[in-house]
Amino acid sequence: MSSGHHSITLAAPAKINLSLRILGKRPDGFHELETLMAPIMLADEIEIAHGRGKEITLTCNDPGIPTGSENLCVKAAVAFLEEVGLDDGVAISLLKRIPHGAGLGGGSSDAAAVLKGLNDLFDRPLVNEELHRIGSRLGSDIPFFLADGPSWCRGRGEILEPASELPRRHLLLVKPPFPIPTVWAYGKYSELKQSEKLSEPLEKQSLGSHEIINDLEIPVFKKYILLPLLKQWLREQSGVESAFMTGSGSAMVAVMEQGFSLDCLQEIKKKISEQFGNTLWVVSTEMGS
């Protein structure tokens, strides 16, 4: 199959979970979820080109990211080529800006970008439903990134319903120097649920008409005690409307009030390194499309 493009470059945006409720355990061992996810402006960049021979190669600016067959981008490329019946070579180059193990969906977003990019590179052999099917096989968050804009995601996360427009807000993302394994967070949640040690959070936060709540905060905060401190601290800062953990962590999100001043953002950044040391990754961004 010939192609009109030689290479294609895409942005792979991060996401935040404004709401993440765990409704129970499914027969397949996954958890039944209801989560409101929103894309944000922070994004990885992916370039996809025709490769030499039949090889799928991945290069990445972050030496900590594995680039072999276990990488989700490589898995996505393999699945795409199999589905279409091609044995072309593909060269993927990944510029990481979204930290790993942060609850920001970087890996899933990269994989979704690879699926979209390859589909364009090979002149669209697959329709959206087919890409969606491959995506949900590879990872629960990938279908969200194949769609566009904020969505309610249900099932394992693969059943999507577009959410109403969310208020545009500036965000401050703060991630401590450790990742949190998603599988561990869900496992710990189940454990606490069985022993009936889950307590509902007392404070109510919201964005527009949406309540902000993350069921995974309870198990994660029990073990990673820096996170509840960070959440409380962020909520007390002037200009901050709400603060919460995204996904299974470890990134915390502070939503800035409308009409906050940039000085106040600089002030918070400065205070973070004074109070929590300078090993934290701190980035300001805003809600995406």
Q: Please state, as a whole number, how many other Cβ atoms lie within 10 Å of the Cβ of residue 22.
A: 18
Distance CA(111)–CA(123), nearest Å, equals 19
Give the residue from 149, 142, 148, 137 showing the smallest Cα distance to 109: 142
CA distances from 218 to 104, 156, 191, 197, 215 (A): 18, 20, 12, 9, 6
Residues marked as catalytic: 15, 141
Q: How far is CA 104 from CA 100, 173, 178, 193, 263, in A?
A: 8, 10, 14, 25, 26
Phi/psi for 153 (5° steps) reads: -115, 130
Edge-to-edge strands, sheet with 170-175: 240-245, 252-256, 170-175, 281-286
- The answer to whether 148 touches 128, Cβ cutoff 8 Å, is no
- Contact indicator for 92, 47 with CB cutoff of 8 Å: yes
3-state secondary structure of 161: strand
270: how many CB neighbours lie within 10 A of its CB? 10
